[in-house]
Amino acid sequence: MTQELWKSYFETGLESAKAGLIETAIDYFEWAAKIKPDNHEIYYNLGVSYMTLGKMNEAIDSFTKSINLDGNNSDAYANRAICYSYVNNKSKSNQDISIAVSKGAIESGIREAVRVIEEKRKKEKKKKN
């Protein structure tokens, strides 16, 4: 029963995310994680959802949990690198980029995403001032 329940929550989270209902997706992913805390895919998708909302610290935490459960996911390292860049932690961002590339990610794509996110952060900072 719990096997089916976590999978149902997870799949509903994926469908919610695809439909643009990110907060709803987060709820379903969190419910799935409570039932199946050892599933790296749940935490990865939770991280992507938080990242989409600009909640970078929550995204970093989720990607870290995913990586701790499956250290071979280059996408988790790449996305965490982008989040670290957004929160202005260049050293951790560069470290994750290196790991992601060593696991098969394309460095130029990650670097471009980091560049875009840094520009966005700078624009947001200017708006506040």
Where residue 48 sits, what CATH number does that domain have? 1.25.40.10
Name the more confident of 126 and 71.
Answer: 71
Q: Which two tokens stand for residue 93?
A: 């961002």
The Cα–Cα gap between 43 and 61 comes to 9
Contact 84, 60 (CB under 8 A): yes
pLDDT at site 1: 65
pLDDT at site 99: 98
pLDDT at site 32: 98
Look at residues 49, 55, 54, 43 and name the one whose alpha carbon lies nearest to residue 15.
49
- What sign for the dihedral angle of Cα 10, 15, 18, 22? negative
pLDDT mean over 70-93: 96
Position 120 pLDDT exceeds 90 = no
Mean pLDDT over each residue of the chain, to the nearest integer: 95
| Inter-CA distances, 92 with 4, 25, 82, 109, 121, Å | 37, 27, 10, 17, 17
Position 128 pLDDT exceeds 90 = no
Burial class (CB in 10 A: 0-12, 13-18, 19+), 64: middle
Position 129 pLDDT exceeds 90 = no
| Inter-CA distances, 52 with 69, 82, 102, Å | 22, 12, 25
Amino acid 27 reads D
pLDDT mean over 8-32: 98
What confidence tier does 122 reach under pLDDT thresholds 50, 70, 90? confident
Range(s) of the domain holding residue 21: 2-128
How many domains does the chain divide into?
1
pTM: 0.93
